[in-house]
Amino acid sequence: TSFAADKPHYTIATDTTYPPFEFQDKDGEYRGIDMDMLKAISKEEGFTYTLKPMSFNAGVQAIQAGQVDGLLAGMSITPEREKSFDFSVPYYKTGVVIAVNGKDKDNKSLDDLKGKKVAVKTGTAGAQYAQSIAKEYDLKLSFFNDSNTMYNDVKVGNTVAAFEDQPVMAYAINQGTDMNIITKPVNTGGYGFGVKKGANAELLKSFDKGYDKLVKSGEYDKIVQNYLGDNS
């Protein structure tokens, strides 16, 4: 008999790729701030988990359908989501920005995007923001399931801009994605680990407790530093 058999086991969904929060390293291993944090928290709190990478939107739906226990995917805590999710404490500050092709010298502000085609990621806070201003700015929205494909659409010139979270867009640009952020972050808030409302209270409590320990021990800062260095 092993202790492990007594540990609670959960299925946790994450985004297929959302660096620096989750991404596959060259060995196919999932790494990133979310992933390292989850690993450390699970050790601290004594639970095991199976990771289920899927598109962000699929993750949101899997939670609502009760197919997975938790979603850790650089997920913004929004008032709308709080109706159907229970969230951990916010663990990272975020906001939505707009980025254009690095070679684009014409589109320097939201006003310049009037009447143009822009790229958004299905089911995200960025998409929601774009939809909220689409009428006013006459934006034509193209939807993508993952961030890379969305950036690529701007790179090849199908769309003029992408709506993305500031820390994620800034990281991608730092890593060599040829894009420029042209707006200040809006709809700012925090990232949270989410479970279906009213479900998995024990898992959520463990996450918060474990996170608190990581913050106090300095481990959380180390994880962030490891990916962002001086840019954190």
Task: Indicate the residue among 17 and 101 with the shorter CB distance to ligand GLN.
Answer: 17
If one asks whether residue 33 binds ligand GLN (CB under 6 A), the answer comes out as no
By CB under 6 A, name the one of 15, 36, 153, 208 that touches ligand GLN: 15
Buried b (16+ CB within 10 A) or exposed e, 155-178: beeebbbbbbbbbbbbbbbeeebe
- Binding-site residue total for ligand GLN (CB under 6 A)? 12
Residue list 167-206, contact with ligand GLN (CB under 6 A): none
If one asks whether residue 75 binds ligand GLN (CB under 6 A), the answer comes out as yes
Q: 117-121 and 161-165: which strand pairing?
A: parallel
Shortest gap between Cβ of 168 and ligand GLN (angstroms)? 7
- Segment contacting ligand GLN by CB under 6 A, of 36-44, 74-82, 85-93, 200-208: 74-82
If one asks whether residue 34 binds ligand GLN (CB under 6 A), the answer comes out as no
Q: Side by side, which strands form the sheet with 70-71?
A: 48-54, 9-15, 70-71, 194-196, 85-87
Shortest gap between Cβ of 55 and ligand GLN (angstroms)? 9
Token output for 80: 């709308």
Closest-CA residue to 76 (of 59, 62, 54) = 59
By CB under 6 A, name the one of 13, 91, 95, 121 that touches ligand GLN: 121
Burial class for 70, CB neighbours closer than 10 Å (0-12, 13-18, 19+): buried
Task: Indicate the residue among 15 and 104 with the shorter CB distance to ligand GLN.
Answer: 15
Task: Indicate the residue among 47 and 163 with the shorter CB distance to ligand GLN.
Answer: 163
Burial class for 61, CB neighbours closer than 10 Å (0-12, 13-18, 19+): middle
Name the site residues for ligand GLN (rule: CB under 6 A): 15, 18, 56, 73-76, 94, 121, 124-125, 165
